[in-house]
Amino acid sequence: MRIVVLAGGIGGARFLVGVRAYAREVGAEVTAVVNVGDDASMHGLRICPDLDSVMYTLGNGADPERGWGRVGETWTVKGELAAYGAEPTWFGLGDKDIATHLVRSTMLTAGYPLSAVTEALCDRWQPGVRLLPASDDRLETHAVVQLDGEQKAIHFQEWWVRHRGELPTERFVFVGAESAKPAPGVLDALAAADVVLVAPSNPVVSIAPILAVPGLREAVAAASAPVIGFSPIIGGAPVRGMADKCLAIVGAECTAAGVGRLYGPDLLDGWLVDTTDEGADVPGVEVRAIPLWMTDERATAAMVGAAMELDLAASRPPAPKRGQP
């Protein structure tokens, strides 16, 4: 059995811990297609927050309390960079984390694509899941904002980490998306998948940038496998992060049904919402309410198990579509 997961950072990482547990039980292989829209260059280092959150979490190197970065992190380099007045000062790079960025940046400069770099980094972390960036090409989420009386496009990291998402924001753009290609292995994984899961990640700035890679949304929609999403909104609020702010910017309702409708029946076959949101309706999509709090690995694995039991007869033909356009 082959499971493909579309995932962002912290929520995606926690979800993948449960997917891996489920996969170990049933003997399945897991491929995670991870958002690169948050990736940024700072202090000459290429930083991939979502790939690293997933890698560190699955490799038991993440800080469980903070949710991002490395456990036992130290901050010597950050203090020194500040002493030099080196910009940006609003983004904290930990010492352990910097080593990852040094290895990545050195390999990228040497000409290796991000997918190969990610594979090399995973040699150390042994995440037990195949991690693929959505694209090897530069695709960065920028926010079009009002700042100092002007309309500007700033990087998502600046929008969120520096400005806490509180600037008047018109929209998000995925810079470089037009010419980006799916990373090697992504389309093959989708074509061969038995199920495609959309993690309970931010639909606007984690999942949308993945689907913005030309050909990737089409490959998900055309996959013979059912596509089942997990709501990141429970009881009208994001489980963590800033999905509420992002949904407002794209004009979507901050509810489990609102996110399901944003994805819509073109993408989804099934949509799992929390029991709190029982009755949520997404036209053309099979909706089921189950407990969606990822309190631990077991609870998250149970969510995945519930997805596998979803009766999709109503929304998807029972015969495999494999090979169809």
Interaction site with a copy of itself (CB under 8 A)? 43-45, 74, 76-77, 79-81, 83-86, 95-96, 98-100, 102-103, 105-106, 109, 121, 123-124
* CA–CA dist 123, 136 (Å, integer): 19
Neighbours of 216 (CB within 10 A): 24
Residue 80 or residue 296: which is nearer to a copy of itself going by CB? 80
Residue 76 or residue 151: which is nearer to a copy of itself going by CB? 76
Provide the residue type at 313 as one letter: A
Residue 100 or residue 300: which is nearer to a copy of itself going by CB? 100
Q: What six digits make up the tokens of 70?
A: 């490395």
Which of 231, 187, 182, 244 lies closest to 210 in space, CA to CA? 182
Residue 31 or residue 105: which is nearer to a copy of itself going by CB? 105
Q: How far apart are CB 200 and a copy of itself at their closest, in Å? A: 30
Radius of gyration of the chain (CA): 19
Residue 84 or residue 319: which is nearer to a copy of itself going by CB? 84
H/E run at residue 287: strand 286-290
In contact, 36 and 74? CB cutoff 8 Å: no
Q: How far apart are CB 44 and a copy of itself at their closest, in Å? A: 4
Q: How far apart are CB 138 and a copy of itself at their closest, in Å? A: 16
Residue 105 or residue 224: which is nearer to a copy of itself going by CB? 105
Residue 83 or residue 313: which is nearer to a copy of itself going by CB? 83
Q: How far apart are CB 124 and a copy of itself at their closest, in Å? A: 5
DSSP state of 39: -
Which of 265, 185, 267 lies closest to 2 in space, CA to CA? 185
Q: How far apart are CB 100 and a copy of itself at their closest, in Å? A: 7
Q: How far apart are CB 136 and a copy of itself at their closest, in Å? A: 19
Which three-class secondary structure state does DSSP give residue 112?
A: coil
Place of tokens 């794209």: 250
First to last CA, the chain: 22
Q: How far apart are CB 83 and a copy of itself at their closest, in Å? A: 6
Looking at the DSSP bridge assignments, the partners of residue 148 are: none
Neighbours of 21 (CB within 10 A): 18
Residue 322 CB partners (closer than 8 Å, separation 6+): 191, 224
